[in-house]
Amino acid sequence: MDLISIVFGLLPYVKYSIFIIAILMIGYFIYRKFYQGKYPIRLSKFVFITLLICWFIVVFGITTLSRGARYTGQINFNLFTSYVNAWNNWSLSEFQLIIFNMLMFVPLGVLLPLIHHKNKSFWRVLVISITFTTCIEISQLITGKGIFELDDLLHNTIGSLAGYFIVMVFILWTEQRKLTFIPIMKAISIPLVFIALFGVANVVYNAQEFGNLPFKPAQKQNMEHIQLQLETELSNKSPKACIYYNKDVNDLKKGKLIAQSIAKQFNLKQQGGMRIDGTNRIFTFQDDEGSAYYLTYFMSNGSWSVSLDNINDDPLKIDIKQQKQLLENWLKNEGLLSNNAIYQQQDERTIRWDLAEPENLQSTCEDFSKGLVMISLYNQQVPDILSDISDNEMVAKKPLISQQQAYNVLVNGEFSTYNLLQKGDTLTITNVRLTYTYDTKGYYQPVYVFTGFVNDSDYLIEVLVSAIQ
């Protein structure tokens, strides 16, 4: 989620709000002309009430109406799971979501004291804020357009109180013509707490040797009523394994260099700035004929792809061998393709280069490259490109926990699945193996993968557990 995505999400409901403001203002002036003398209403109070109505429309629209009904009565009563998710993924978008959930309710805390003097009470604003956000969470639960989450309720309420503390500084200043220490400290206390929180998290993260593992759960599985069956043997040995490092992970500079290279190679013009989509970065280009192309740079592993807005899959009118040579020269000159990559023509329009991963990463302990570059050719200025090549440097050798120790982690429920296990489920583990995955700092580290199924063999499952001691 980035600023542009937020703006585009809000825009339809902002339009509705502007229309409502216009209607209400016309109605107010008609009211003043005919009824103001009998039932006076101050213009300022009317404006604040109107803004509150418009705020509610925008918030209800972005949190409920704009979503598809893809949730089925999901409830998350675990506090701080959003922080655990943000930490495990070390994700800017996750941190932004926490901040946005607070900022979204700041106008409520600002407007309530301006609408009525009784709302200058902290406890009154607290109760109203909790009521508002609870109604939104319940509406998401009933409609299936969201998850009822205590974290959202907490953040929305904190945001409203932040707005309340800020506006009370100005109200007290206008009433008393002076500023006192306590109201000012209240106004800055919430921002300071979160600045300190994120600052400490940043210090701890940078101090640790390796990065975080995104597959770690935000909440444990409740295993009390889950039947666990083991149909494979587990080793009690604690082996050692090599750790590798990919410098391209989270390297935004490389993503920008690739964008520049693509623009130059295919004579494209970049449109707008860089977009953020989760952990990915997206660049938009346009050719001379107005066709749009998108470069997606995957920060999590340093891979990238170029896709076309409208694909023309008519029979090829270009020489595939000539295109292969031109593209190969470009990729190698830019350092995007190794000289020992193996070429093959996959079909009548698809060419690719492959680099094989070593058979035993646990003990090879040498620098290596792996992955592929696949290019699909069309009768357009730019082909469809997928580059999933990573260069990995051997950096350390670490002791691992045993398979049995990893299984004990699973027994304790410290693993994640797409859907949480339900009471009465049977989880059957049929195999365990050691594989590798990237952490959030770009280290390629070993993990145990338990494979099996839930209840029956049609519901296959993989459970990942960190292998490093």
**E-strand spans in 312-425?**
342-345, 350-355, 368-376, 384-387, 390-399
DSSP one-letter code for 323? H
Segment 273-281 long-range contacts (CB within 8 Å, at least 24 positions apart): 275/2, 275/4, 275/5, 276/1, 276/2, 276/5, 276/92, 276/93, 277/2, 277/5, 278/1, 278/91, 278/93, 279/89, 279/91, 279/93, 281/252, 281/255
Interatomic CA distance for residues 30 and 435, integer angstroms:
72
Checking if the pLDDT of 424 tops 50, the result is yes
pLDDT value for 4: 56
Checking if the pLDDT of 443 tops 60, the result is yes
Checking if the pLDDT of 32 tops 80, the result is no
Interatomic CA distance for residues 218 and 84, integer angstroms:
5
- Segment 352-379 mean pLDDT: 91
3-state secondary structure 225-266: CCEEEECCCCCCCCCEEEEEECCCCCCHHHHHHHHHHHHHHC
pLDDT digits (tens, 9 = 90+) for 221-256: 889 899 999 999 999 999 999 999 999 999 999 999
Q: 246 and 391 in contact (C-beta within 8 Å)?
A: yes
Query: Which of the two residues, 24 and 415, has the higher pLDDT score?
Result: 415
Checking if the pLDDT of 41 tops 60, the result is yes
Q: 467 and 403 in contact (C-beta within 8 Å)?
A: no
pLDDT value for 205: 96
Alpha-carbon distances of 413 from 128, 229, 434, rounded to whole Å: 38, 14, 20
Interatomic CA distance for residues 268 and 250, integer angstroms:
25
Torsion of CA 255, 256, 261, 262, to 10 degrees: 70
Region of poorest pLDDT, from 35-49, 151-165, 231-245, 398-412: 35-49
Mean pLDDT in the chain? 88
Structure confidence at residue 378 as a pLDDT band (50, 70, 90): confident
pTM for this entry? 0.85
pLDDT digits (tens, 9 = 90+) for 192-216: 999 999 999 999 999 999 999 999 9
Q: What angle do CA 444, 449, 452 make, to 5 degrees?
A: 160
Other residues' Cβ atoms within 10 Å of the Cβ of residue 442: 23
The top-scoring range by mean pLDDT among 19-28, 39-48, 366-375 is 366-375
What is the β-pairing status of strands 75-76 and 148-149? parallel
Helices (H), 36-105: 43-60, 81-89, 92-103
Region of poorest pLDDT, from 117-126, 269-278, 394-403: 269-278
- Segment 33-49 mean pLDDT: 72
pLDDT value for 1: 46
Q: Residue 272 region, left (φ>0) first, then alpha (ψ -120 to 50), else beta?
A: left
Give residues with Cβ within 8 angstroms of 314, minimum separation 6.
Answer: 379
Q: Would the CA dihedral through 423, 425, 429, 433 be positive or negative? A: negative
pLDDT value for 69: 59
The top-scoring range by mean pLDDT among 6-20, 68-82, 336-350 is 336-350
Q: 395 and 468 in contact (C-beta within 8 Å)?
A: no
Q: 384 and 306 in contact (C-beta within 8 Å)?
A: yes
Structure confidence at residue 73 as a pLDDT band (50, 70, 90): low
Other residues' Cβ atoms within 10 Å of the Cβ of residue 49: 17
Structure confidence at residue 165 as a pLDDT band (50, 70, 90): very high
- Segment 280-305 mean pLDDT: 91
pLDDT value for 68: 63
Helix (H) or strand (E) holding 426: strand 426-438
pLDDT digits (tens, 9 = 90+) for 128-138: 999 999 998 88
Query: Which of the two residues, 466 and 3, has the higher pLDDT score?
Result: 466
pLDDT value for 7: 60
- Segment 24-29 mean pLDDT: 75
Length of the chain: 469
Structure confidence at residue 422 as a pLDDT band (50, 70, 90): confident
Q: 372 and 363 in contact (C-beta within 8 Å)?
A: no
pLDDT value for 404: 97
